[in-house]
């Protein structure tokens, strides 16, 4: 899917794909925290998905905008988690190698 805007949802079939695959939660990570990540988090919430931002898997051009955006997103839109927490969660699910 090719993005045409800052959000992964804008002008793409992401929302339809998530619904058709019965995905009920969205994890957002990537660059740039203050741009695409934030836009995708806001759109994910607006589409009704519980949303998590993987804080140690996001980056920005400078620390200030990165930290400010994470603060804003986790105060208003998304829950914060780390990559380690995500991996641990998925490894604990039934039917996985570790679970």
Whole-angstrom Cα distance, residue 31 to residue 53?
Answer: 12
Check 36, 57, 58, 81 and give the catalytic one. 36
Q: Quick check: is 58 catalytic?
A: no
| Nearest to 44, CA basis, from 20, 14, 17 | 14
For CA atoms 4, 23, 30, 36, give the dihedral sign.
positive
- Annotated catalytic sites, by residue? 36
């Amino acid at each position: 899917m090719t993005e045409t805007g800052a959000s992964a949802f804008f002008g793409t079939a992401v929302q339809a794909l998530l619904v058709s695959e019965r995905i009920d939660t969205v994890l957002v990570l990537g660059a740039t925290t203050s741009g695409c990540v934030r836009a995708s988090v806001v759109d994910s919430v607006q589409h009704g998905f519980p949303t998590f931002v993987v804080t140690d898997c996001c980056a920005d051009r400078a620390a200030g905008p990165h930290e400010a955006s994470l603060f804003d997103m986790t105060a208003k839109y998304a829950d914060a988690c780390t990559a380690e927490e995500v991996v641990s969660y998925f490894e604990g699910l039934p039917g996985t190698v570790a679970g």
